[in-house]
Amino acid sequence: MRDHNVLLQECLARQEQAWAELRRMLTALLYSVGRERCGLDPPDVPEVVQETLLTLLADDMAVLRRFRHQSRFSTYLTGVALNVCRKWRSRYRTTNTVPLIDDLLPATWDDQNRVDFWNLVEVALSSLDMRILRLYADGYTAEEIAAKLSTHAVPLTSNNVYVRKHRALKTIKRFIEQSK
């Protein structure tokens, strides 16, 4: 791997090979860090990488030009990628999870209240529970969710999915009551 300062200069000079290397670097970064810190699912990584690259290219590469060498370039890119990832997850969570229990949320809440609420819920619930709720919101059955999320390390049955969904919804209802 090349020196990151050289990579940065080559990207700013719009060299295609440098952008290909940056894309590989961001993909690896988001597969490892994005899932752990942002709850990013592996199938979503290419979309978030693309959005991160677009962020880096926007306004004549203003984000890249703001790098001041006070940290490693990879650390700076991690921050940029995680910010994009969080914004992406916030949009995804708002559009895909809210319909499941939208009728429980106060009608007076605006979009920011809802995003803040889901951020609080995400901290309280496990990433597995959040994925179960998202899949329910997308119309999957308990059997389909169990098949989709079950691994050797964490085997799931449809009964497990029902129980986890019930507990997660109970937690969400408790948060709503406390927020009123």
60-81: pLDDT as tens digits: 889 888 988 888 887 888 888 8
Between the alpha carbon of residue 127 and those of residues 16, 35, 36, 73, the distances in Å are 37, 10, 9, 29
Q: Give the tens place of pLDDT for each residue, 72-123.
A: 887 888 888 878 877 776 665 544 444 445 556 677 777 777 777 777 777 7
CATH class of 4-92: mainly alpha
CA 50 to chain centre: 13
Every domain of the chain and the residues it spans: 4-92, 97-179
Alpha-carbon span 30 to 15, nearest angstrom: 23
Between the alpha carbon of residue 66 and those of residues 3, 74, 174, the distances in Å are 18, 14, 43
Q: Is the separation of the CB atoms in 80 and 29 below 8 Å?
A: no
Read off the tokens for 99.
């319909």
Specify the pTM.
Answer: 0.48
